[in-house]
Structure 1
């Protein structure tokens, strides 16, 4: 007898097992390939785009303007490239245009569609806004009181992640865009603000430059590229995609592998009579182990290769799925050869190991027991369960089926758990972000507008409440904003977790986001650094203000001035309940209360497709896992089903007896999934804080909970319905057979 002849017959007889196992392998590996392809494509594009368009290493602003001659002198003295960047923000009908003067050496822009401006009535605008708002080249757009013709779309390296303000949580392409026009037209706009762009060389004296600028011109802000979310978010998210890909390769496929490994082990056990026969015929242990390992190779190898081929064929659209957060980047997707090999080899290797261990375990048993099908002793143990209890036949059979075959029951439970977990996790993340808009706005305060000014002012002719705002860094380089205000500021929410008002004049208070991310506690003495003067300061934490949105230190104006080296009688920030008439050139940054809600809506809008994909993944995993587990139950219960038919039970009655044996695992799997979703969401949102996102509280809508439970139940019962015909196919003759293959 040649063992190889059994492969095709075994595949035909167990086709549903191989199909289900392959589907599970494909579905879980698709996410790995998706994230790996998307991350690599974004990383490759961004690095090339940054180099091509001379991305800045830092930008800064000063309270005193630096003359061109002195700017050149600073550049020569400290071996850096410096360039002045003038700009102005103009709001028209609720939409803000940030108009830049063209630069020659740093942060160049690239026309991606159409052509550059050539006349004073022409502009080029950021492409993301154009696509979002269905704007075409050749259309007219009003800026202020003048109409301009759009000659083209552009992208700028420090705005690939389109944040209106650097402390925003999500891109804004609905009410904000970038714009360039001719030099003459830009000059006609009137007074403008300015910042200074810097590129450093290997031998640049960065510290000397920063100290010199601060001493002579009073630096108001300094942001390095590694702290600029508009820049780092691109590479960080690309790297996060790649990290997530390999985490998924270890977790999701591993979970599917656990399911399949258990099933393979069970399949090998059902072959114990055949193994005993082959062993008695003289086949060696090594031959038998390799033979059954060959069966285990099929779903891993075929599933892995199929997924790799599909992923390679659709690498371009897969790579573009990761671009929803950015400007429309022209990435080139490709499947990395190493990633493809890992995706094929890891599941296959684990399946083979499971089969080898199962056969090895059986071959340690006596050949006589193997020939009798009693090597595992499972049947005898199952028969003793509830043996002396007077309960219904159906209940006793169901309990024996579950407790007598714990591995099989675990597969059903895990399938239900995973399906519900994945579907509810996707909807939970979506709901939490959507809910974030309202809660975040409440935590920040009740102001309608916040204005960060270019200058330090002593008198306020505009109205609203004034604040002194600056920044510090901790020893690890994490940046925190410093807010100097009054306790009775009506526009800020200065309360602790118990709802009591915090007297900020008494000391330095941190927000709860700082407490969570940096681990600072009330009473701690911490060291911070002034990023402008580079001076070191020590401060004692007086308490915590409930605010998971801002990473800030909040105190009085006097203490804020002492910490940052500014004048305590001055201010550079105004908050108010309405729009104020402040000249555009004086405003460095304007924030609206509704911005957070808009950002949340934009984020959830971009996540629609991802949510659908996650729910689809959960549905497939649930159906496949339950199907293969119950299919295993039917296969292992063929003689019992046959006997029930001999005894006169109808097919519908047999369905109720056999297929309903694991119904209790459905609510148990769902109940177990719910707290795991909350815990996983919390960990995910804390992790996302490192990527510049505020801490989002986990919130799941009741409707989402009901949908996930109903989908899970539908998948479970759908799998049972698919298996009804397999029960019908069992012949009465099965119960009369002494042996079966």
Structure 2
């Protein structure tokens, strides 16, 4: 073993703190990032495989009412140019679920499908699929969050079901009640499936089905542009066939399908950025420590050079320990990440997303990024630092001039009026200015992580409060079509009769109508035969009249048979069916200006305080490949009692505060919005600050309902919603949704619940980095001043006094860094939030309360106090012999 090699164990023991700090910093950072990235990579592979394994739909279309076979055939024919498409009936009911025992009264919704076997096939984690009409299988995440297990009994729309299985649905990987929601809701919303008979029973119990049709193109690799064009053609075909299309969602736009993958990809980028930042910060540390090592070993290096050692040998010698430590830290960190951190990271996603059973997919790319790159960066940076210093002569090393400093700072004249202690502390600061600058950068980065962890809950709480207060009424109802609350008792009976008749198979109504027409024709023929027999009596004319009368009787019997079939479907007798037909026939259904009347009277007071509005969703291109923002355009009354202080009318367009904050539109700017269903484009002008309304979470656009209907070419009396402080009993056939403050609070609570899982990790990582950065960089200051500390001991200063001089200087620098970095950190957090959330619907305003800033400074300083105690021990270990060593 060479003499230089023999020094390595001794150097490692003497600098065990420095190398242990480097090892822990690299190992810890790599373990967390490699564990997360491997979990994210595996989940991404799993999601990609689901499309074929579980036959995920290419899109879905929702109609106001059940489409006829002819309408569906028209939609399928419209896609012949791209190879064809198949539509699948995929109705669901948003059922209110309650536990049969121990229910807490919270409103929970379970979107219930009939068991699917051809498209969007469920993956069962536990139990079995439903076999009887009183069995239900529910989503895994919803079941976990609501303490439901196989065998429990629940009520759906008041009907009791037994949970037979726990499963996940591929089109509901992320649980979004509405596709435009900002985040998932796994607490009060879930999905389920029952048998066909169970679905029918749920409908009989009062559940209102949504008439959704999922579709899959024959060419599963159809280019996106061609697929979108084909979907537009399908919607046009449905509309031309008199179907009312409420919604069209391509699979790429379906948050239930794509949100989880997007979140994994986004978080992967964030963790890669975190790893890059850690590498950059470690580079600062390595540079500082390399300089400190060269300066500390300057006399030894000079002696070695003078003794005939080549510079290459000395560089390899001083590179050996950092390289060994770096490689071991990278390999062990990666191994720990794969073995111990993949599962916790998986849990972060499986606690929020409904995915099939997890399995690990190995990635060499992650190994290179997490193990090879950091180790190579450490070796390269250390090598560059050593080569930069090795250009000095042996004499310069022996004179401790290897740092290349002229000594100006060391010999700077300080005012004599300053006391000895103040001047000493200032000289300590000036001599270690580079170390303290790096310490500032490290503290700023660690504070950024820490403040992010501390501020995320207040930010989400603030956002949840804004969501809750953004609702202008206790109930915001949306309708599938206009529905009038006001009406006479006779009108309600007529519309109730029509609704009841429309609830049965249209073929039965058509058959009854055809039979009635045939009876009228037969009666006319019989009357003509009777007139002929009267005018020209003969045996032939009398026989013809008798035959005509017999035919009338046959047609009457046929009509009665058709009416009996209709009555059976309606669950009533023939006379009641005839009465329903008679009442419904009094409605002028050909008059477009006549709107259906709600069959239930909600009461004069409730009707009087309710207010009509109209709403439609348009898309705004965020630019730079960040997708489209879904914006709700509202048409409201010019003198609305609910949207207070909102001045609309005469073409005035008002923009929500969230839109302006997120996109920064300037006064006079024209904003182009697109309609993904009709292919239309609309240009709306932002006139200035007077045309802004609402909080920074408000992502809507407002105008008068008259301007709304003119813009979208609707009938003058069109509307599709009510705002009301009183509960309204609306017909299920026209009811689309009811948004309440409780619903908005649930969305906010879900967001808080998701982020709280990461807060502990973020705070722990920040404290860990705080501890190591402060220890490594402040240790460099102590080591750099070892000879001066030894001199002071020779001069009779006690350890406590020396610690007071040195530690106090470091303490002031740390305290100043913690405080001065706050504005930079808050600005950085704002920028990070904007860039992270730009591609998501909605706008979250970063909210950093004073207490979180104080906590950030307090935690950082408390962490430093632990380091200061360690340095106090280091000062005590500085030997008096250090002062007696010859410097030159």
* Interval of TM-score (by shorter of Structure 1 and Structure 2): over 0.9
**For each residue in 1:52-85, what CA deviation from the matched residue of structure 2 results, as whole angstroms up to 9, or x when unmatched?**
2222222222345421243134324421121222
- The separation in 1 between residues aligned to 2:169 and 2:127, in whole angstroms, is 16
**For each residue in 1:11-43, what CA deviation from the matched residue of structure 2 results, as whole angstroms up to 9, or x when unmatched?**
111111100111121233234324312321221
| Pair 1:192 & 2:209 matched | yes
- The separation in 2 between residues aligned to 1:207 and 1:379, in whole angstroms, is 74
- The separation in 1 between residues aligned to 2:292 and 2:613, in whole angstroms, is 69
- The separation in 2 between residues aligned to 1:693 and 1:372, in whole angstroms, is 64
**For each residue in 1:75-132, what CA deviation from the matched residue of structure 2 results, as whole angstroms up to 9, or x when unmatched?**
2442112122222223355222322233443223233211111222211122212111
- Classify 1:291/1:398 alpha carbon distance in 2 versus 1 (closer, same or farther; 3 Å): same
Matched residue, 2:477? 451
Matched residue, 1:362? 389
- The separation in 2 between residues aligned to 1:387 and 1:87, in whole angstroms, is 81
Instruction: Give SS of 2:185's match.
Output: coil
Matched residue, 1:213? 238
Q: CA deviation at 1:386?
A: 4.1
- The separation in 2 between residues aligned to 1:471 and 1:388, in whole angstroms, is 70
Q: Where in structure 2 are there 5+ consecutive unaligned residues?
A: 98-104, 484-594
- Classify 1:378/1:77 alpha carbon distance in 2 versus 1 (closer, same or farther; 3 Å): closer
Instruction: Give SS of 2:640's match.
Output: coil
Bigger radius of gyration, 1 or 2? 2
- The separation in 2 between residues aligned to 1:228 and 1:548, in whole angstroms, is 25
- The separation in 1 between residues aligned to 2:120 and 2:686, in whole angstroms, is 39
Q: CA deviation at 1:135?
A: 1.0
- The separation in 2 between residues aligned to 1:625 and 1:174, in whole angstroms, is 40
- The separation in 2 between residues aligned to 1:176 and 1:724, in whole angstroms, is 56
Q: CA deviation at 1:484?
A: 1.4
- Classify 1:316/1:260 alpha carbon distance in 2 versus 1 (closer, same or farther; 3 Å): same
Judge conservation of contact 2:111–2:191 (CA < 8 Å) in 1: yes
- The separation in 2 between residues aligned to 1:459 and 1:267, in whole angstroms, is 85
Q: CA deviation at 1:255?
A: 1.5
Q: CA deviation at 1:400?
A: 0.8
| Pair 1:303 & 2:448 matched | no
Judge conservation of contact 2:171–2:256 (CA < 8 Å) in 1: yes
Matched residue, 1:727? 875
- Classify 1:38/1:483 alpha carbon distance in 2 versus 1 (closer, same or farther; 3 Å): farther
Q: CA deviation at 1:187?
A: 1.4
Judge conservation of contact 1:528–1:537 (CA < 8 Å) in 2: yes
| Pair 1:226 & 2:371 matched | no
Q: CA deviation at 1:528?
A: 3.4
- The separation in 1 between residues aligned to 2:846 and 2:654, in whole angstroms, is 25
Matched residue, 2:767? 619
Matched residue, 2:496? none
| Pair 1:346 & 2:359 matched | no
**For each residue in 1:491-510, what CA deviation from the matched residue of structure 2 results, as whole angstroms up to 9, or x when unmatched?**
336x6xxxxx3325533333
Worse overlay, 131-140 or 388-397: 388-397
Worse overlay, 286-295 or 222-231: 286-295
Instruction: Give SS of 2:91's match.
Output: strand
**For each residue in 1:655-706, what CA deviation from the matched residue of structure 2 results, as whole angstroms up to 9, or x when unmatched?**
1122222222122211233223322332233234334342122222333233
- The separation in 2 between residues aligned to 1:729 and 1:120, in whole angstroms, is 79
- The separation in 1 between residues aligned to 2:389 and 2:165, in whole angstroms, is 71
- Classify 1:549/1:661 alpha carbon distance in 2 versus 1 (closer, same or farther; 3 Å): closer
Q: Within 5 Å, give how 1:277-296 maps onto structure 2.
A: 277-296=303-322
- The separation in 2 between residues aligned to 1:87 and 1:66, in whole angstroms, is 15
Matched residue, 2:48? 47
Judge conservation of contact 1:33–1:339 (CA < 8 Å) in 2: yes
- Classify 1:504/1:695 alpha carbon distance in 2 versus 1 (closer, same or farther; 3 Å): farther
- The separation in 2 between residues aligned to 1:566 and 1:531, in whole angstroms, is 17
- The separation in 1 between residues aligned to 2:789 and 2:210, in whole angstroms, is 82
Matched residue, 2:34? 33
- The separation in 2 between residues aligned to 1:229 and 1:303, in whole angstroms, is 39
Judge conservation of contact 2:670–2:684 (CA < 8 Å) in 1: yes
- Classify 1:474/1:276 alpha carbon distance in 2 versus 1 (closer, same or farther; 3 Å): same
| Pair 1:66 & 2:91 matched | no
**For each residue in 1:587-631, what CA deviation from the matched residue of structure 2 results, as whole angstroms up to 9, or x when unmatched?**
333322122322222222233331111111111111111111222
- The separation in 2 between residues aligned to 1:85 and 1:68, in whole angstroms, is 15
Instruction: Give SS of 2:481's match.
Output: strand
- The separation in 1 between residues aligned to 2:395 and 2:199, in whole angstroms, is 93
**For each residue in 1:511-534, what CA deviation from the matched residue of structure 2 results, as whole angstroms up to 9, or x when unmatched?**
233334455444333443332222
Instruction: Give SS of 2:634's match.
Output: strand
Q: Within 5 Å, give how 1:195-594 maps onto structure 2.
A: 195-200=212-217, 201=219, 202=222, 205-216=230-241, 217-314=243-340, 315-327=342-354, 329-334=356-361, 336-376=363-403, 378=405, 380-387=407-414, 389-442=416-469, 444-457=470-483, 458=595, 461=598, 463=607, 464-474=610-620, 478=628, 479-492=630-643, 501-518=646-663, 520-542=665-687, 543-594=691-742
Judge conservation of contact 1:471–1:531 (CA < 8 Å) in 2: no
Q: Within 5 Å, give how 1:651-690 maps onto structure 2.
A: 651-690=799-838
- The separation in 2 between residues aligned to 1:665 and 1:483, in whole angstroms, is 55
Aligned length: 733
**For each residue in 1:248-282, what CA deviation from the matched residue of structure 2 results, as whole angstroms up to 9, or x when unmatched?**
22223211322232222221222222222222222
| Pair 1:161 & 2:174 matched | yes
- The separation in 2 between residues aligned to 1:716 and 1:301, in whole angstroms, is 28
**For each residue in 1:179-235, what CA deviation from the matched residue of structure 2 results, as whole angstroms up to 9, or x when unmatched?**
322212321323533122122333763332222123332322222222222222111
| Pair 1:596 & 2:744 matched | yes
- The separation in 2 between residues aligned to 1:111 and 1:323, in whole angstroms, is 15
Q: CA deviation at 1:309?
A: 0.9
- Classify 1:322/1:155 alpha carbon distance in 2 versus 1 (closer, same or farther; 3 Å): closer
Matched residue, 2:863? 715
Matched residue, 1:183? 196
Judge conservation of contact 2:141–2:351 (CA < 8 Å) in 1: no
Q: Within 5 Å, give how 1:80-95 maps onto structure 2.
A: 80-91=85-96, 93=105, 94-95=107-108
Matched residue, 1:630? 778
| Pair 1:98 & 2:125 matched | no
Matched residue, 1:498? none
Q: Where in structure 1 are there 5+ consecutive unaligned residues?
A: 496-500
Instruction: Give SS of 2:164's match.
Output: strand
Judge conservation of contact 2:662–2:843 (CA < 8 Å) in 1: no
- Classify 1:28/1:492 alpha carbon distance in 2 versus 1 (closer, same or farther; 3 Å): farther
Worse overlay, 190-199 or 12-21: 190-199
- Classify 1:668/1:700 alpha carbon distance in 2 versus 1 (closer, same or farther; 3 Å): same
Matched residue, 2:509? none
- Classify 1:329/1:59 alpha carbon distance in 2 versus 1 (closer, same or farther; 3 Å): same
Judge conservation of contact 1:300–1:344 (CA < 8 Å) in 2: no
> TM-score, normalised on structure 2?
0.78
Judge conservation of contact 2:674–2:680 (CA < 8 Å) in 1: yes
Instruction: Give SS of 2:175's match.
Output: coil
- The separation in 2 between residues aligned to 1:584 and 1:155, in whole angstroms, is 28
- The separation in 2 between residues aligned to 1:34 and 1:603, in whole angstroms, is 24
Worse overlay, 693-702 or 661-670: 693-702
Q: What is the Cα-based RMSD across aligned positions, in Å?
A: 2.5
- The separation in 1 between residues aligned to 2:67 and 2:460, in whole angstroms, is 43
Matched residue, 2:131? 118
- Classify 1:689/1:617 alpha carbon distance in 2 versus 1 (closer, same or farther; 3 Å): closer
